[in-house]
Structure 1
Amino acid sequence: MTRTTTTPPEPAVVAAAELSTLDRYLPVWIGLAMVFGIGIGRVLPDLDDWLDEITIGTVSVPIAIGLLAMMYPVLAKVRYTRVGEQLGDRRTLGLSLVMNWIVGPALMFVLAWTFLGDLPELRTGLIIVGLARCIAMVLIWNDLACGNRELGAGLVAVNSVFQIVMYSVLGWFYLTVLPGWLGFETERLDVGIWEIARSVLIFLGVPLLAGFLTRTIGEKRRGTVWYEERFLSRIGPVALYGLLFTIVVLFALQGERITDRPVDVARVAVPLLVYFVTMWFGSFTAGYRLGLPYDRNASVAFTAAGNNFELAIAVAIAVFGVTSGQALAGTIGPLIEVPVLVGLVYVSLWARRRFYARSVDTN
């Protein structure tokens, strides 16, 4: 029978078994990238200093290159005409905003004081991570978990706007006001709106514009079928190559600190692990009870669980210095987030088969 439709299947219909070899063995590649990064960081002790010098302001150029390579293919897949429609569901948008801007920062504040009460620099760094909502890697996890691409891009855009407006306000509240009310030690976070906006513009604005223009021009010149079935399949692997490159750079930069301060790393890793798992399961469970379809629920859960480590690191370095404990806590964030969120991708795909089997079959 002749195929009559020119519209490719939605991401949520793609079975886990159809993941490419690169996708299926992603935990292996990530593990190797971590080991390789630490290795070259130890073999070449001056590498971290050299990489630290390649910056524009407080933005690391190597990390920026990796993140842009990682985000561009994912954003090129988004059907931008559907983003507004996907954000129209009040349940989805409401749940996402509550998890990201109320539950997330409050949970990280509690975990930071519970696990790092005697280590003020690491505690402050952890709180800074909790205030920065994810705008980059979440798109990778959402795509791998067969989440809704249009909704994921929309939620990331909404979080970016909130981040520019609210980051400094929340930093003041969770580091100065709330600890003062509770009789705890207080801290100041002097960071301007422009520093936050610059991070958002670089790590989201550039790949978002590139993805939008690529789809608009590509579909206009060659058609939707060519764009969806041929062009996207060619650039798709670039996202994971960018992810692996970013991981190598991060671990090369922090390899010496990780091996020299294993106890501090472990103490920061524990609350981070609790945070990522709690945020994902809490959001996914709430979305399931609200009756959200799997693809939308997965997008909300991964958006809630991830954090904008590039902003957190930039803020920590700008305010407290590159060698500070706050900066160390910020850099440990993605080192824990990456393997944990990869694991949650597989949990999400299992939950799809377990709790959404009927809706998947009917698709």
Structure 2
Amino acid sequence: MSTTTAAADSSTQPVLRELSFLDRWLPLWIVLAMAFGLLLGRFVPGLDTVLSAVTIGDISLPIAIGLLVMMYPVLAKVRYDETRRIAADRRLMGLSLLLNWIVGPALMFTLAWLFLSDLPEYRTGLIIVGLARCIAMVLIWNDLACGDREAAVVLVTINSIFQVVAFGALGWFYLQVLPGWLGLPTTSAEFSVGAIVLSVLVFLGIPLVAGFLTRVLGEKTKGREWYEQSFLPKLGPWALYGLLFTIVLLFALQGDAITSNPFDVARIALPLLIYFVLMFGIGLLVSRSVGLNYAKSSTVAFTAAGNNFELAIAVAIGTFGVTSGQALAGVVGPLIEVPVLVGLVYVALWASRKLFPNDATVPHHGSSKSSPSTRS
């Protein structure tokens, strides 16, 4: 059982006491990392210049490294020989594509216009966030919620392919065509296919290949039992170290912009909060209604709710500039997404036994999935 289950169910306190110090207090570490990053960005002069000195696709190199460290252990845990079976599940594939590429962008477009109709820069930035489907951090949230790891990798890979193909077309549709049909102001934006491809290759391709090779070579050399019982428990905590490191740097990079515009941040945050909660709830309930088990339903929910903030920020900066309102909206995305999706991990684990009472994939006491940073 994960840390979040232990926190949500008082009957699991003995299990909670057995978890590592990092796992037991993960939500606290995330909040502290966000606060520390904001303070660094606000009170350390020139830090943003240092962090931005070297970039990969308009993303700071240190942040890119943090993301790779975060994703590699999760992708090393995946049993890749099971992904073909996952990809053949038409309900899973169809529902995920529907939620990610039709419902998600349409919902974000609606919320952006409802809450930011008088602020075109923030509104455009929010719509761009809605178009960038998650390919990175969702693997962490899914792992913490004891979701289906193999399904998550398949869905993230599908999102990556669609991102390359559909991002520019959807941006044109939601920023120019649809507003024109509705009699609303339109926005002109140029999307670099190269930037999108680079984002996918760096933030998914590198850790995916590394994780795949690690499992193949590890199992070939010493067998699956050694790989999953001895190697992965040592590698696992690095996913959370990478997550905390990334959060500190990300918030430090934009700390001054966030703390200098608290009211604007609040205006952007509200529709984002509603978006994350609605997409997660819709994903979980609809998945359950079509007969998916808890593990797959939670995976669908998290992949639908999360967004690729790395790509959204890169596109906003590349198109509108680093000091633009669009870029600020992209930065506020992870500011809201991180704590909200951590909270939704608790919700998923709490709801698992109520919505899936007889499901073998629901995490239980004494399960082998005892810790998000060590379970294999």
Rounded Cα–Cα distance in structure 2 between residues aligned with 1:93 and 1:235: 30
Helix, strand or coil: the match of 1:143?
helix
Aligned match of 1:185 = 185
Aligned match of 1:341 = 341
Aligned match of 1:28 = 28
Amino acid aligned to 1:165: V
Helix, strand or coil: the match of 2:178?
helix
Rounded Cα–Cα distance in structure 2 between residues aligned with 1:241 and 1:218: 22
Rounded Cα–Cα distance in structure 1 between residues aligned with 2:92 and 2:71: 23
Matches within 5 A, 1:1-363: 20-360=20-360
Rounded Cα–Cα distance in structure 2 between residues aligned with 1:223 and 1:260: 54
Once the two structures are TM-superposed, the CA of residue 254 in structure 1 deviates from its matched residue by 1.3
Once the two structures are TM-superposed, the CA of residue 358 in structure 1 deviates from its matched residue by 2.1
5+ residue gaps in structure 2? 7-11, 368-376
Rounded Cα–Cα distance in structure 1 between residues aligned with 2:303 and 2:257: 29
Rounded Cα–Cα distance in structure 2 between residues aligned with 1:90 and 1:35: 42
Q: Are residues 50 and 24 of structure 1, via their aligned partners in 2, closer, same or farther at CA, if it must alter by over 3 Å?
A: same
Q: Percent identity, aligned pairs only?
A: 64
- The answer to whether the Cα contact below 8 Å between 1:34 and 1:247 also exists between their aligned partners in 2 is yes
Amino acid aligned to 1:314: A
> What's the CA shift string for 1:55-110, capped at 9, x where partnerless?
13413211101110100000000000101101211111111000000000000000
Helix, strand or coil: the match of 2:254?
helix
- The answer to whether the Cα contact below 8 Å between 1:125 and 1:326 also exists between their aligned partners in 2 is yes
Deviation larger for 40-49 or 312-321 = 40-49
Rounded Cα–Cα distance in structure 2 between residues aligned with 1:243 and 1:29: 10
Rounded Cα–Cα distance in structure 1 between residues aligned with 2:245 and 2:270: 25
Helix, strand or coil: the match of 1:117?
coil
Rounded Cα–Cα distance in structure 2 between residues aligned with 1:243 and 1:157: 20
Helix, strand or coil: the match of 2:236?
helix
- The answer to whether the Cα contact below 8 Å between 2:280 and 2:304 also exists between their aligned partners in 1 is yes
Rounded Cα–Cα distance in structure 2 between residues aligned with 1:143 and 1:292: 18
Helix, strand or coil: the match of 1:292?
coil
Once the two structures are TM-superposed, the CA of residue 204 in structure 1 deviates from its matched residue by 0.1
- The answer to whether the Cα contact below 8 Å between 1:284 and 1:301 also exists between their aligned partners in 2 is yes
Once the two structures are TM-superposed, the CA of residue 355 in structure 1 deviates from its matched residue by 2.0
> What's the CA shift string for 1:236-280, capped at 9, x where partnerless?
000011110111011111111111100000000000000000000
Rounded Cα–Cα distance in structure 1 between residues aligned with 2:25 and 2:160: 31
- The answer to whether the Cα contact below 8 Å between 1:73 and 1:239 also exists between their aligned partners in 2 is yes
- The answer to whether the Cα contact below 8 Å between 2:57 and 2:195 also exists between their aligned partners in 1 is no
Rounded Cα–Cα distance in structure 2 between residues aligned with 1:220 and 1:346: 37
Amino acid aligned to 2:73: P
- The answer to whether the Cα contact below 8 Å between 1:168 and 1:189 also exists between their aligned partners in 2 is no
- The answer to whether the Cα contact below 8 Å between 1:124 and 1:175 also exists between their aligned partners in 2 is yes
Rounded Cα–Cα distance in structure 2 between residues aligned with 1:112 and 1:326: 12
Aligned match of 2:371 = none
Aligned match of 2:373 = none
- Corresponding residue pairs, total: 352
Rounded Cα–Cα distance in structure 2 between residues aligned with 1:180 and 1:355: 42
Helix, strand or coil: the match of 1:359?
coil
Helix, strand or coil: the match of 2:39?
helix
Rounded Cα–Cα distance in structure 2 between residues aligned with 1:358 and 1:304: 25
Rounded Cα–Cα distance in structure 1 between residues aligned with 2:109 and 2:76: 36
Aligned match of 2:372 = none
* TM-score (structure 2 length as normaliser): 0.91
Helix, strand or coil: the match of 1:179?
helix
Deviation larger for 108-117 or 34-43 = 34-43
- The answer to whether the Cα contact below 8 Å between 2:155 and 2:303 also exists between their aligned partners in 1 is yes
Q: Are residues 323 and 15 of structure 1, via their aligned partners in 2, closer, same or farther at CA, if it must alter by over 3 Å?
A: closer
Amino acid aligned to 1:323: T
Rounded Cα–Cα distance in structure 2 between residues aligned with 1:61 and 1:82: 33
- The answer to whether the Cα contact below 8 Å between 1:23 and 1:144 also exists between their aligned partners in 2 is no
Once the two structures are TM-superposed, the CA of residue 20 in structure 1 deviates from its matched residue by 4.2
* TM-score (structure 1 length as normaliser): 0.94
5+ residue gaps in structure 1? 1-10
Deviation larger for 58-67 or 210-219 = 58-67
Helix, strand or coil: the match of 2:292?
coil
